[in-house]
Amino acid sequence: MERSGPSEATGSDASGPDPQLAVTMGFTGFGKKARTFDLEAMFEQTRRTAVERSRKTLEAREKEEEMSREKELRQSEDIEPTSSRSNVVRDCSKSSSRDTSSSESEESSDSSDDELIGPPLPPKMVGKPVNFMDEDILGALPPPLNEEEEAEEEEEEEEEENPVHKIPDSHEITLKHGTKTVSALGLDPSGARLVTGGYDYDVKFWDFAGMDASFKAFRSLQPCECHQIKSLQYSNTGDMILVVSGSSQAKVIDRDGFEVMECIKGDQYIVDMANTKGHTAMLHTGSWHPKIKGEFMTCSNDATVRTWEVENPKKQKSVFKPRTMQGKKVIPTTCTYSRDGNLIAAACQNGSIQIWDRNLTLRLSNGTVCMLWAHTEVCVM
């Protein structure tokens, strides 16, 4: 009896798991074998099913293509007999039209075929598609125009319309001053040099005799610092250049760009502009005297026209004040000398052109000033 105890214990262990252990752990399934899977067999089965499905889809597509082809063949077979019938009807109508009169042919053609419009086709064209580019129908096409002749005619028309082509020039070059507006040009009397100025404050010198294929300026400078260049003019002898900028002081430089003189700036707090030594506002333009070397004049926003001498930059030579008919100030926008240099003319903002005698001074009472208006009315003050 004592020996049978261990055997009973082993028998109870082999029979199954302890129920008390399942209660303690909170889950069951102790002592069961884990399920095993054959991955290679699963992959093989998956591959076979994929191949079978692809084969079925291909067969279905082939069946659909065959069905569509059969439908197309049936439609083409249905169209062919109808077309042959229409051709037979056309042949019959054409033969009947040739045998019968014109009225009977029209009636038969209208009743036989409603699609035919106009005169009947020639025998050669019966049963054939009509080619409207055929020479038998339309005749021979005109020969094409020569491209060279067309180009010449277009060029002649352009030359007649464009007035630039009428300029008698033999050579042409393009000079690149800069990226901003070119506002002033000056050519020396001999025509050998050109000076340009622009809104980039630069004044550039161009020498045609010493210019190479690059067409570059041989000198560039900024004589008026940060002021835009308004006017550039060579003197009659070509040895000096008058530079008028947006400042109130004009400058004179030599033909190589070195400064010769600078006009003095006036006192802007003086009411009478005749009592100042120079301009007090922005300049507009300037001009050299045609006869006297070293004399020039300038006009400004201070409503004055002043004459200067190169030898005396500290004070102007004379002052002219444009006035309206009511005696009010008016700003001159440009000025120039007469051909003999005895008269000074200024164009003003009110539309008038006022002319003075250069030899008269401003100190005279009422000054004998001649005013020539835009509508050619002359009056003496």
Q: What is the CATH number of the domain that holds 207?
A: 2.130.10.10
The yes-or-no verdict on residue 252 having pLDDT over 80 is yes
| 220, part of any domain | yes
pLDDT > 80? residue 30: no
Q: For position 187, what pLDDT does the model report?
A: 92
Non-local CB neighbours of 276 within 8 Å, separated by 6+ positions: 266, 267, 270
Predicted local confidence at residue 121, as pLDDT? 58
Instruction: State the residue for tokens 């102007």.
Output: 316
In the predicted model, what is the mean pLDDT of the chain?
A: 77
**pLDDT at res. 359:** 80
Q: What's the pLDDT at 225?
A: 86
Q: Could you tell me if residue 244 is inside a domain?
A: yes
Under the banding of pLDDT at 50, 70 and 90, the label for residue 32 is low
Q: Whole-angstrom Cα distance, residue 356 to residue 338? A: 10
Strands 370-372 and 283-288: unpaired
Which stretch of DSSP H or E encloses residue 139?
none
Across 68-72, 128-132, 241-245, 337-341, least confident range? 128-132
pLDDT of residue 260: 93
Residue 263, domain member (yes or no): yes
Burial of 257 (0-12, 13-18, 19+ CB in 10 A): middle
Between these two residues, 207 and 26, which has the higher pLDDT value? 207
Ranges of beta strands (E only) in the chain are 182-187, 193-198, 203-207, 219-221, 229-234, 240-245, 251-254, 259-262, 283-288, 295-300, 305-309, 318-320, 332-337, 343-348, 353-357, 370-372, 378-380
Q: Is residue 192 part of a domain?
A: yes
Write the burial class of residue 190 (CB in 10 Å: 0-12 exposed, 13-18 middle, 19+ buried): exposed
- Taking the C-alpha atoms of residue 129 and residue 286, their distance in angstroms, rounded to an integer, is 83
Whether 259 is in a domain gets the answer yes
pLDDT score at 11 = 43
Most distant CA pair in the chain, distance: 165
Assigned domain for 6 exists: no
Q: Are 364 and 381 in contact (CB under 8 A)?
A: no
Per-residue pLDDT band for 78 (boundaries 50, 70, 90) equals: confident
* Low-confidence winner among 75-79, 215-219, 255-259, 375-379 (lowest mean pLDDT): 375-379
| Secondary structure string (H, E, C) spanning 52-114 | HHHHHHHHHHHHHHHHHHHHHHHHHHHHHHHHHHHHHHHHHHHHHHHHCCHHHHHHHHHHHCC
Tokens of 163: 């007035």
Q: What is the pTM assigned to this prediction?
A: 0.52
Q: How confident is the model at residue 81 (pLDDT cuts 50, 70, 90)?
A: low
Of the two residues 264 and 173, the one the predictor is more confident about is 264
Distance separating alpha carbons of residues 374 and 294, to the nearest angstrom: 31
Answer whether residue 313 is part of any domain. yes
- Backbone region of residue 220 per phi and psi (left: phi > 0; alpha: psi in -120 to 50; beta: other values): beta
Is pLDDT of 305 > 70?
A: yes
Which residue would you say has higher pLDDT here, 173 or 231?
Answer: 231
CA-based nearest residue to 279, from 294, 297, 260, 252? 297
What percent of the chain is modeled with pLDDT above 90?
36
CA 88 to chain centre: 65
Q: How would you classify residue 292: left for phi > 0, otherwise alpha for psi between -120 and 50, otherwise beta?
A: beta
Q: Which domain holds residue 241?
A: 182-357
And the tokens for 33?
Answer: 């074998």
Query: Is 346 within 8 Å of 298 (Cβ atoms)?
Result: no
- Percent of the chain that is helix, strand, coil (3-state, to 5): 30, 25, 45
The answer as to whether 12 is a domain residue is: no
pLDDT of 272 reads 83
Mean pLDDT of the 197-218 span: 90
Q: Which segment of 33-42, 62-71, 347-356 scores lowest on mean pLDDT?
A: 33-42
**Number of independent structural domains in the chain:** 1
- DSSP conformation class of 164: G
Of residues 98 and 135, which shows the higher confidence score?
A: 98
When pLDDT is cut at 50, 70 and 90, the band that residue 301 belongs to is very high
Contact indicator for 243, 229 with CB cutoff of 8 Å:
yes
C-alpha distances out from residue 259 to 52, 77, 300, Å: 100, 101, 21
**pLDDT for 375:** 34
